[in-house]
């Protein structure tokens, strides 16, 4: 039997399959057995490309982070740069909510994540922020973006009016939130983003 012209497995194929599994079933579904079955290969063959599952998870997270648009950080004034970057960051994370806890844990040694951190920090320092403040702003922005991407606030309310009754007098229209969750969540993120940026701008004007 002739050998296949290309290998059955590659790092990219494994990463793609792992991301699909996480997106569909959550982080807990990622295992050697499940991933091998998805790819139609034997489990041990995966270790020819990734020494451990943690190495694979790092590669999956970094592939997602690489999709974040960093161009504004190199070409826009710092506040506009953070605004455009944060929106792109949230959109990317929102496509893969099950992976957010891994991504926001920290860059570790992931190249794309380190590049993102470097670009954000550099943009802030170049704009006049002291190094410590630049670090804290980077962390603050990550908290804002991750929280907005991980779950829906409005989507967590029951659509049944009977849930609220007379016990919660200020939630008389809360049953409508779930149907409008996308707009509400988007609005909340934008409100938080603009509030943070306005506060930072005032702080910088005051000399930090």
- 3-state SS of 59-108 is HHHHHHHCCCCCHHHHHCCHHHHHHHHHHHHHHHHHCCHHHHHHHCCCCC
Say which residues have a Cβ less than 8 Å from residue 184's Cβ, sequence separation at least 6: 153, 154, 177
Helix (H, G, I), strand (E, B) or coil at 179: helix
What's the CA gap between 151 and 159, in Å, rounded? Answer: 17
Query: Which tokens belong to 21?
Result: 């599994």
Closest among 182, 24, 171 to 98, alpha carbons compared: 24
Q: What is the pLDDT of residues 179-200, one digit of tens each?
A: 999 999 999 999 999 999 999 9
Whether the CB-CB separation of 110 and 68 falls below 8 Å is answered with: no
What's the CA gap between 89 and 156, in Å, rounded? Answer: 23
Query: Which tokens belong to 18?
Result: 């792992």
Q: What is the pLDDT of residues 125-176, one digit of tens each?
A: 999 999 999 999 999 999 999 999 988 899 999 999 999 988 899 999 999 9
Instruction: Give the global pTM.
Output: 0.87
The pLDDT mean for the chain works out to 91
Cα distances (angstroms) measured from residue 103 to each of 41, 124, 154, 202: 28, 22, 24, 30
Say which residues have a Cβ less than 8 Å from residue 8's Cβ, sequence separation at least 6: 39, 40, 41, 45
Q: What is the pLDDT of residues 55-106, one digit of tens each?
A: 999 999 999 999 999 999 999 999 999 999 999 999 999 999 999 999 988 8
Q: What is the DSSP letter of 12?
A: H
């Amino acid at each position: 039997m002739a050998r296949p012209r290309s290998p059955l497995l590659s790092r990219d194929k494994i990463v793609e399959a792992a991301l699909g599994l996480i997106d569909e079933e959550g982080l807990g579904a990622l295992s050697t057995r499940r991933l091998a079955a998805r790819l139609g290969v034997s489990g041990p063959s995966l270790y020819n490309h990734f020494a451990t599952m943690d190495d694979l998870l790092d590669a999956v997270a970094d592939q997602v982070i690489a999709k974040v648009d960093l161009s504004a950080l190199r070409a826009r004034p710092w506040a506009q740069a953070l605004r455009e970057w944060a929106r792109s960051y949230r959109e990317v994370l929102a496509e893969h909510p099950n992976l957010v806890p891994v991504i926001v844990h920290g860059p570790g040694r992931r190249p794309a994540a380190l590049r993102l951190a470097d670009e954000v920090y550099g943009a802030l320092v170049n704009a006049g922020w002291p190094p410590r403040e630049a670090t804290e702003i980077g962390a603050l922005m990550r908290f804002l973006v991750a929280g907005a991407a991980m779950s829906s606030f409005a989507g967590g309310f029951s659509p049944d009016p009977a849930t609220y009754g007379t016990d919660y007098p200020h939630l008389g229209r809360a049953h409508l939130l779930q149907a409008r969750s996308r707009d509400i969540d988007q609005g909340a993120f934008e409100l938080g983003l603009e509030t943070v940026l306005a506060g930072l701008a005032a702080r910088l004007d005051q000399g930090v």
